[in-house]
Amino acid sequence: MNSPITGTAAGVPFTALPPSDDGVAPLIVTWHMLDAPRSDAAFAAALPMNDLPAWRVHLGMPMCGARMVDGSTDAIVELFSKDPLMSFLYPFVRQATEEFPAALESIRAQLPVDDGPIGVLGGSLGGAVALQILTATEIPIFAGAIVNAAIRMRSVVDLFPGDYPYDAESETIVDNLDFIPEAENIASRAPLLVVSGELDHQALRADALRLVDAMGERSELLSIPGLAHPLADEPGIEPAPQLPPARAVDSGLTAWFRRHIAEAG
């Protein structure tokens, strides 16, 4: 197995895992969780997909990993304590989505990836980014996957203490980050694997089931026994040994992307 490659792509930190064979290969891009694993390096260790004949480039989310403020997550805690939607969830998804096209161009310039459609994968809040890439961009995608994802941002906001004080602006934003009404759009863009831990938050699991149902034959559900929301133990910043539930997710993702890489030719 080749060693990880670390770098930055248009200012976005990444951990890249090369395919076992030399030469040009397809590209799969991921966005990690804000729960453990909460950095690109830790996500790469949790879900390496080592048997894929593709580059797996794990991007860092805003203020995570190499972009942490003062080397800790305290700044993130301050943001979601102030306003979980408008200061934290929405800005993170927006920034990660907006910075991706330039990051993708930089990845293509740095690594021997082919110029065909890419795969996208997101976990938790990173799942909302992957879904935004599918719904709000024209970047060609051969397959997508999400893991315990933020499919309806309203469900994620409800996980924070207290009743959120929605106003007209935040109502519009939270509705725009509801991807179930976008099911037909997503299905037209790429097939989607929806991975859901059987012990994930009940609302997130319900959203996963609804999205799969709405997408029909263009989506598959992979339900993981024993998997709660995180994929790794705390603190989840540095690479750590793969936990058994994460290994089951990794195996499912590997099979999914391998099949669609072959179909893409």
pLDDT tens sequence across 192-248: 999 999 999 999 999 999 999 999 999 999 999 999 999 999 999 999 999 999 999
Q: Confidence class of residue 255 from pLDDT cuts 50, 70 and 90?
A: very high
Residue in the structure block whose two tokens are 């700044």: 75
User: Could you tell me the two tokens for 56?
Assistant: 């797996």
What is the spatial distance between Cα 145 and Cα 143, in angstroms, rounded to a whole number? 7
Q: Does the N-terminal peptide bond of residue 48 adopt cis geometry, omega within 30 degrees of 0? A: no
> HSE of 156 in the Cβ direction (CA atoms, 13 Å)?
30
Who wins on pLDDT, 79 or 70? Answer: 79
Query: Is 90 exceeded by the pLDDT of residue 264?
Result: no
Distance CA 140, CA 144 (A): 11
In the chain the domains, ranked by start, together with CATH numbers, are: 5-264 (3.40.50.1820)
Distance CA 97, CA 61 (A): 10
> Is pLDDT at 75 greater than 90 in this prediction?
no
pLDDT in tens, 114-135: 999 999 999 999 999 999 999 9
Q: Average of pLDDT values for 149-160?
A: 97
pLDDT of residue 65: 86
| Lookup: tokens for 93 | 């998804």
What confidence tier does 183 reach under pLDDT thresholds 50, 70, 90? very high
User: Do the Cβ atoms of 43 and 37 come closer than 8 Å?
Assistant: yes
Question: Which amino acid is it at 214?
Answer: A
Helices (H), the chain: 40-46, 74-82, 90-98, 100-110, 125-136, 153-157, 168-176, 183-189, 202-215, 244-264
* Residues comprising the chain, all counted: 265
pLDDT in tens, 84-107: 999 999 999 999 999 999 999 999
pLDDT of residue 1: 59
